[in-house]
């Protein structure tokens, strides 16, 4: 990726400060039960600041005011954390909105082009786009070839070639055609485009809570209810001991004991996790997908366009059975005259370099046979009755036998040689005669082997799925460094592999870019579609990689693990904090009546009031101090789950006990001067 979005700026911070006040609305706070309890406590103590004897209490008005102010600051800090995380997503959404404009489109109507605004385009409309014009909406290229600038969406300045057929036919509204021309079939209605979905997804305010987050919220809410019951019953025990427990003191105790730290940061952690994914130019359709990525065990990768560049080009015509290379080239050209795929066009280009001319008249009125995954071949039925076919070697062999022909003895040797070199052999046949092979070459993307090794260290198994024959698949798998491969796979084979892994209790990720990958992308726990791929693939996936880099899955997995670790670590830290706050407030409340409780005052705090205020102040300021960690996430290094758990318990569990002791004592020393 050429750049990263700037994490924070003055505008985001100023807007977050404003939002932190607006979020004090009880209707908003109610969505966070923990902070809603704090807000109720703030309202009560604020009331007692002006009517200190309202509940028969005798705490000084200044103490009540101080507690109210500290609770208000706690609320503002928690709201600020969430607003700051949302602000980054909204800033990115605003930048995307600049790319969304009402573009003039040239729509085909009755054989002519009619100028219409893009807002009037509907699914199925055909538009023509020439050099210098903007793509008016999401669609598939149905004719032509053009260089397209996608920098408004991906941030990459390098143009992308878009062409009819294959897996590079998808175009996105808001991008610009730089050269040549294309005809595009619109695939989305207004308001449903990829850009529209991106804008809504990156706006953190619209993020739905994930199952793990909901479960943790439930646990934290239960803890809050338990502590609330404990605090409500304390006055009855106090009466038995002849100790008067004032309402502000009880509120302070409740706020310090409930998990306010994680309650204030929980939403920010989730939003920031999704935002970190977008910083790697990956759009996550849900937080659930990001979380699932953190627990991935197996990754299924499509070969063409994912592990390899996908542009398999004809590089040689190889004759078999006593024919000559020129005859193979001639009939390969005939079979490719109406083939709009990159491979088909490369056959024509290679023949042109060899000095062969296209015999357009021969195929002029012929019946074109489209390529299908089931038959794995294409071709043409000529008007003179001859049938020409081009496709996988096995499929053509079967077809030739069905036509009553024989298989040349040297076919398998020559096709295996092409496959073992990493190429793809396509056989060419006319009626019952198999003439030869078209040698198609593909190239593994650089750095893939190193990236797959990283996945191996993370405990992730990589499986490559390809429609190529076993020898070709084996060569590419060895060169790329994947753990396993499945050759001659059909769409249903990819789904079967995913279901098999899932049945074994594993979470599976799938990356792909073609329409045939769509079912598998939908079945996988995490489906990552390449932005260069088809609309069907992007709609089926729950993540879209704008850079079309399949190895990006490593960053996505790391971010998923980061999200889960950050949430767990800060939850541990928050609950551990309660131990120190307990030792600060409980002795302060009961020492007068029970002198023996002085033994619990291990911090030797100055007075009951200073102890309560110190614990409250620490409880408030720890939230903004942890915001950078919540936003950035805990650093992840590939290691075992046991070691990660041990490290986090040591750092955030033990640290969550020690730091509050030191922090509350330091604050108490400063509070003494004032109190």
The torsion angle over the Cα atoms of residues 266, 10, 194 and 462, rounded to 10 degrees, is -60
Q: Are 132 and 308 in contact (CB under 8 A)?
A: no
Question: Which among 86, 94, 284, 102 has a CA at the least distance from the CA of 199?
Answer: 94
Q: 646: exposed, middle or buried (C-beta count within 10 Å: 0-12, 13-18, 19+)? A: exposed
Q: What is the pLDDT of residue 586?
A: 77
Pick the CATH number of 122-188 from 3.40.50.300, 2.70.150.10, 3.20.20.140, 3.40.50.11240: 2.70.150.10
Domain ranges of the chain: 10-92+202-278+557-672, 122-188, 282-307+445-546, 310-443
Q: Are 278 and 637 in contact (CB under 8 A)?
A: no
Strands 424-430 and 387-392: antiparallel
Residues with active-site annotation: 302
Sheet of 387-392, strand order: 313-319, 433-441, 424-430, 387-392, 377-381, 367-369
Residues of the chain with pLDDT under 70: 1-9, 55-57, 88-102, 151-158, 166-168, 191-210, 241, 286-287, 304-306, 309-311, 358-359, 373, 422, 550-551, 589, 591-593, 595-597, 601, 638-641, 674-675
Question: Which among 67, 71, 69, 76 has a CA at the least distance from the CA of 21?
Answer: 76
Q: How far apart are CA 436 and CA 521, in angstroms?
A: 36
Q: Which CATH architecture has domain 310-443?
A: 3-Layer(aba) Sandwich (3.40)
pLDDT for 201-259, tens place per residue? 555 444 556 677 778 888 888 888 988 898 888 888 777 767 777 888 888 888 888 88
Q: What is the pLDDT of residue 427?
A: 92
Q: What is the pLDDT of residue 69?
A: 92
Q: What is the pLDDT of residue 256?
A: 84
Domain 282-307+445-546 = CATH 3.40.50.1000: yes
Q: Are 429 and 435 in contact (CB under 8 A)?
A: yes
H-helix or E-strand spanning residue 571: helix 553-590
Pick out the residues of the known binding site for ATP: 339, 343, 371-378, 390
Return all residues near 375 (Cβ < 8 A) that are at least 6 apart.
Answer: 391, 395
Q: How far apart are CA 427 and CA 491, in angstroms?
A: 22
Beta bridge partners, 369, equal 379
For residue 76, give both structure tokens.
Answer: 């503002």
Pick out the residues of the known binding site: 339, 343, 371-378, 390, 513, 517
Alpha helices in 241-311 (DSSP H): 247-257, 260-279, 287-293
Give the three-class secondary structure for 138.
coil
Q: How far apart are CA 558 and CA 186, in angstroms?
A: 36
Q: What is the pLDDT of residue 167?
A: 59
Same fold, 282-307+445-546 and 310-443: no
Q: What is the pLDDT of residue 96?
A: 56
Q: Which residue has the tokens 């996936």?
A: 541
Does the pTM surpass 0.95? The reply is no
Q: How far apart are CA 592 and CA 585, in angstroms?
A: 13
Pick out the residues of the known binding site for Mg(2+): 513, 517
Question: Which among 617, 17, 1 has a CA at the least distance from the CA of 282?
Answer: 1
Q: What is the pLDDT of residue 252?
A: 85
């Amino acid at each position: 990726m050429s750049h990263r979005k700037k994490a924070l700026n003055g505008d985001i911070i100023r807007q977050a400060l404003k939002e932190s006040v607006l979020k004090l609305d009880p209707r908003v706070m109610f969505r966070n039960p923990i902070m809603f309890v704090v807000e109720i406590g703030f309202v009560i103590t604020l009331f007692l600041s002006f009517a200190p004897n309202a509940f028969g209490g005798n705490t000084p008005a200044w103490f009540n005011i101080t507690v109210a102010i500290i609770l208000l600051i706690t609320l503002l800090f928690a709201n600020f954390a969430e607003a700051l995380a949302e602000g980054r997503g909204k800033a990115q959404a605003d930048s995307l909105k600049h790319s969304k404009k009402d573009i003039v489109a040239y729509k085909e109507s009755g054989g002519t082009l009619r100028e219409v605004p893009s807002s009037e385009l509907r699914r199925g409309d055909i538009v023509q786009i020439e050099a210098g014009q903007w793509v008016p909406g999401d669609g598939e290229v149905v004719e032509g070839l053009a260089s397209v600038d996608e920098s408004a969406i991906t941030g990459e300045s390098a143009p992308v070639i878009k062409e009819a057929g294959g897996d590079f036919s998808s175009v996105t509204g808001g991008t610009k055609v730089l050269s040549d021309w294309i005809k595009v079939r619109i695939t989305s209605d207004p308001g449903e485009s990829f850009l529209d979905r991106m804008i809504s997804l990156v706006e953190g305010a619209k993020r739905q809570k994930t199952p793990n987050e909901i479960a943790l919220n439930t646990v934290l809410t239960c803890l809050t209810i338990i502590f609330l019951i404990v605090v409500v019953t304390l006055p009855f025990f106090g009466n038995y001991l002849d100790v008067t427990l004032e309402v502000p003191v009880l509120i302070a105790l409740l706020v310090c004991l409930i998990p306010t730290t994680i309650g204030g940061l929980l939403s920010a952690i989730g939003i920031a996790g999704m935002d970190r994914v977008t910083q790697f130019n990956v759009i996550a359709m849900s937080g659930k997908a990001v979380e699932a990525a953190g627990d991935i065990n197996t990754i299924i990768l499509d070969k063409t366009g994912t592990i390899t560049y996908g542009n398999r080009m004809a590089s040689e015509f190889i004759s078999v059975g006593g024919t000559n290379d020129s005859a193979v080239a001639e009939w390969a050209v005939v079979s490719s005259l109406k083939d709009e795929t990159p491979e088909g066009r490369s056959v024509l280009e290679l023949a042109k370099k060899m000095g062969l001319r296209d015999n357009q008249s021969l195929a002029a009125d012929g019946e074109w046979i489209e390529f299908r995954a089931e038959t794995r071949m294409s071709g043409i039925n000529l008007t003179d009755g001859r049938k020409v076919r081009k496709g996988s070697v096995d499929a053509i062999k079967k077809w030739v036998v069905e036509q009553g022909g024989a298989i040349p003895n040297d076919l398998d040797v020559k096709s295996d040689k092409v496959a073992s070199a990493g190429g793809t052999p396509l056989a060419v046949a006319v009626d019952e005669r198999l003439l030869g092979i078209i040698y198609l070459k593909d190239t593994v993307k650089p750095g893939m082997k190193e990236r797959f090794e990283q996945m191996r260290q993370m405990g992730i198994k990589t499986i490559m799925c390809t429609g190529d024959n076993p020898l070709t698949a084996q060569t590419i798998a060895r060169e790329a460094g994947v753990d396993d491969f499945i050759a001659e796979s059909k769409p249903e084979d990819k789904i079967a592999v995913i279901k098999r892994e899932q049945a074994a209790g594993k979470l599976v990720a799938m990356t792909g870019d073609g329409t045939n990958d769509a079912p598998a992308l939908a079945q996988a726990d995490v489906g990552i579609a390449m932005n260069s791929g088809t609309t069907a693939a992007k709609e089926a996936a729950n993540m879209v990689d704008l850079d079309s880099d399949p190895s990006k899955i490593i960053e996505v997995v790391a971010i998923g693990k980061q999200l889960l670790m950050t949430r767990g670590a800060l939850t541990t830290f928050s609950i551990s904090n309660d131990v120190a706050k307990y030792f600060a407030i409980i002795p302060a409340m009961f020492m007068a009546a029970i002198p023996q409780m002085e033994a619990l005052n291990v911090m030797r705090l100055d007075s009951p009031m200073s102890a309560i205020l110190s614990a409250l102040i620490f409880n408030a300021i720890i939230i903004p101090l942890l915001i950078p960690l919540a936003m950035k996430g805990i650093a992840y290094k590939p290691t075992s789950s046991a070691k990660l758990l041990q490290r986090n318990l040591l750092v955030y569990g033990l640290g969550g006990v020690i730091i509050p002791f030191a922090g509350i004592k330091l604050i108490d020393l400063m509070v003494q001067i004032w109190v």
